[in-house]
Amino acid sequence: MSAKKKSPIKLQNKLTGGEALIKCLENHGVEYIFGFPGGVVIPIYDAIVNTKKIKSILVRHEQGATHMADGYARATGKPGVVLVTSGPGATNTVTGITNAMMDSIPMVVFTGQVTTPMLGKDAFQEADMFGCTLPFVKHSYLVKDANDIPRVVKEAFHICNTGRPGPVLVDLPKDTTSGICTANLDPNMDLPGYTVQTTINKTDVKNMAKMFKGSKKPLLLVGHGVVIAKADQEVKELAEKLQSPVVNTLLGKGGFPETHPLSLGMLGMHGTAYANKALVNCDLILSIGCRWDDRINGNNDEFCIGAKKLHIDIDPAEIGKVVKVDAAVVGDAKMVVKELIKHVKPLDTNAWKQECDFYKKEFPLHYSTDKGLPAQYIIDQIYKISKGKALVSTDVGQNQMWSSQFYKIDKRDTWYSSGGLGTMGVGLPAAIGMQFGRPNELVVAIVGDGGFQMTAQELTTAFIHKLPVKVFILDNKYLGMVRQWQELFFDNRLSGVDLTGNPDFVKLAEAYGVKGIRISSVKGAPEKIKAAFAHNGPVVVHCEVVKCGNVFPMIPAGKSAYHMIVEPPKTKIK
């Protein structure tokens, strides 16, 4: 009979740094820690054994942990938490941290570190995480005293989830987490250089309201800031009062219901043709929580020529960074729009709305099933069968753009996509994080065959925790978006994009204990999708789609919406 395991001896009324950390996380309402252990974080993992409030989620790769925390944060609005070991464990999180930074996602990443006496001496598995992540975090800490842990944790959660959200990194040497902490677990914060704007300049709001006077063709541009600020209802009220058409960015999906009569859907490089037509022809554009990035503004000199440009953003650094604006208000989108509604008057936009409706009829999204199984058909069926009520996670590439076109989002916090960084491999782990955050809702991951294989091992995480995530792999045997660019702009000289040799994804899923379904034709596809949704566990649906399908409309890189390609060109694009 084996001896009963005993916990390490504890000093009376004192905690180790690891124990203090876990208790602080409990106080912040943390439900899950996504991570992967190693030697220097054993004191923390040992403390996790005693908590009844936090569940440790063992991933299969540290990058997967960050994407799960990211998906959890987007689905719940609460910071995602990551815990990994030092060296390669820590550096494996950099992609996920950068992804969160680019998309303004609240996340706290705890990385293990070598003992403080060994810092800077190239000790085993030492990596300067404080230094190497400096451009990719909102803030970072290297904690050398166990008594600093409660204060640092409190500050980290405050910083990551206030103002413009973002990731915070906390680097923890092993002697800090194994040392004794006697500090108050609810200390005062010490952030003299960090302030959060809680008021708005009402004069600026009134000046912005005056800009609308006389506008016949207004356009509201909804960005991710609307979703973050939970300002969707205020934006809807503003649009309906002005009777202004609305376009949204990739991450702005859910900030305004895409089934609303005033919605024109996503604009930009692969946005709807009617959204881009409205962009070209508007006489005033108000960006709310959008940074005018290059995927919607490829050429600043030709962006909304002659139109008044207005900007609402919580980050003052974004005002004037890309587009010179005629009026701006710095502040939380919900607060600003709520105040703006008081000062604007309804506009005469009947002719403008009729023009936009004409664009919808003239340039609808479409696809053909004549030559095989189109990826668009799969997404369209997912949308119809789920009745538009699923939480959707995409990977990056053609699957992402088709999903943004054909899966309309009406509610905020139900859409995940990697926007700023464009990270392949996010789709599956992000969906897992979303499912942890909202366990009773349908979560669908729409991924490509390339991106899926970067994090496919996380199927184990879904299987172990019995998460009913539905993963649709759009398998065209190519890195489809790169192939599309090579076809259109490089005389179809295909290089480095052929994914011949992909595994049988159904068998791969079954090897992980996950149900696999194959769809290879339009016939019977809806029934198989329904069967996937009905299954009470994780499912991988291997969709063998048309190999050389392209995403249209398309605006070539570096061009403006004036140069939009609506249909496949018959000659080489210059």
Cα separation of 265 and 345, whole Å? 24
Q: Do residues 398 and 255 make contact, with C-beta atoms less than 8 angstroms apart?
A: no
pLDDT tens string 352-388: 999 999 999 999 999 999 999 999 999 999 999 999 9
Closest to 246 measured CA to CA, from 258, 231, 229:
258
Q: Do residues 167 and 137 make contact, with C-beta atoms less than 8 angstroms apart?
A: yes
Q: Where are the domains of the chain?
A: 15-181, 202-362, 375-552
Signed CA dihedral, 166, 172, 176, 181: sign only:
positive
Please give the DSSP secondary-structure letter assigned to residue 257.
-
138, 174, 253, 338: the active-site residue: 174
Active site residue 241: no
pLDDT exceeds cutoff 80 at 573? no
Q: Do residues 143 and 170 make contact, with C-beta atoms less than 8 angstroms apart?
A: yes
Average pLDDT over residues 101-130: 96
Give SS3 for 356.
helix
Closest to 38 measured CA to CA, from 81, 82, 95, 89:
89
pLDDT at site 568: 75
pLDDT at site 11: 43
pLDDT tens string 18-32: 999 999 999 999 999
pLDDT tens string 258-299: 999 999 999 999 999 999 999 999 999 999 999 999 999 999
Active site residue 552: no
CATH number for 202-362: choose from 3.40.50.150, 3.40.50.1220, 1.10.10.10, 3.40.50.300. Answer: 3.40.50.1220
Angle (CA) 250 338 196, round 5°? 75
Active site residue 481: yes
Q: Do residues 472 and 444 make contact, with C-beta atoms less than 8 angstroms apart?
A: yes
pLDDT at site 12: 44
Strands 308-313 and 443-448, bridge-based pairing: unpaired
Spell out the alpha helix ranges (H) of 179-296: 202-211, 224-228, 232-242, 273-281
Closest to 458 measured CA to CA, from 97, 87, 57:
57
Average pLDDT over residues 124-137: 96
Q: What is the DSSP string of 99-156?
A: HHHHTT--EEEEEEE--GGGTTTT-TT---HHHHTGGG-SEEEE---GGGHHHHHHHH
pLDDT tens string 176-194: 999 999 999 999 999 999 9
124, 216, 530, 567: the active-site residue: 124
- CA 366 to each of CA 292, 360, 363, 409, 550: distance values in angstroms, whole numbers, following the listed order: 27, 12, 9, 18, 12
pLDDT at site 567: 84
pLDDT, mean over the chain? 96
Cα separation of 94 and 63, whole Å? 8
What CATH architecture applies to the domain 375-552?
3-Layer(aba) Sandwich (3.40)
Cα separation of 407 and 470, whole Å? 15
Residue 144: exposed, middle, or buried by beta-carbon count in 10 A (0-12, 13-18, 19+)?
middle
CA dihedral of residues 337, 339, 343, 347 (deg, nearest 10): 20
pLDDT at site 4: 45
pLDDT exceeds cutoff 80 at 200? yes
Buried b (16+ CB within 10 A) or exposed e, 368-387: eeeebbbbbbbbbbbbebbe
Angle (CA) 431 158 58, round 5°? 35
pTM beyond cutoff 0.85? yes
pLDDT tens string 535-549: 999 999 999 999 999
pLDDT at site 559: 93
What six digits make up the tokens of 294? 């290059």
Backbone angles phi, psi at 541, to 5 degrees: -110, 110
pLDDT band at 571 (very low <50, low <70, confident <90, very high): low
**Cis ω on the peptide bond leading into residue 150 (within 30° of 0)?**
no
Give SS3 for 185.
coil
Side-chain half-sphere of 427: how many Cα atoms within 13 Å?
29
Active site residue 302: no
Active site residue 435: no
Q: What is the DSSP string of 392-457?
A: EEE-SSHHHHHHHHHS---STTSEE---SS--TT-HHHHHHHHHHHSTTS-EEEEEEHHHHTTSGG
Q: What is the DSSP string of 490-543?
A: STT---S-B-TT---HHHHHHHTT-EEEEE-SSTTHHHHHHHHHHSSS-EEEEE
Q: Do residues 163 and 192 make contact, with C-beta atoms less than 8 angstroms apart?
A: no
pLDDT tens string 289-345: 999 999 999 999 999 999 999 999 999 999 999 999 999 999 999 999 999 999 999
What six digits make up the tokens of 422? 């464009």
Radius of gyration of the chain (CA): 25
pLDDT band at 3 (very low <50, low <70, confident <90, very high): very low
Cα separation of 419 and 410, whole Å? 19
3-class SS string, 26-48: HHCCCCEEEEECCHHHHHHHHHH
The fold adopted by the segment(s) 15-181 is Rossmann fold (3.40.50)
pLDDT tens string 153-168: 999 999 999 999 999 9
Give SS3 for 316.
helix
Whether 15-181 shares its CATH topology with 202-362 is answered yes
Residue owning tokens 């009913």: 468
pLDDT band at 1 (very low <50, low <70, confident <90, very high): very low
Between 573 and 94, name the one with better pLDDT.
94
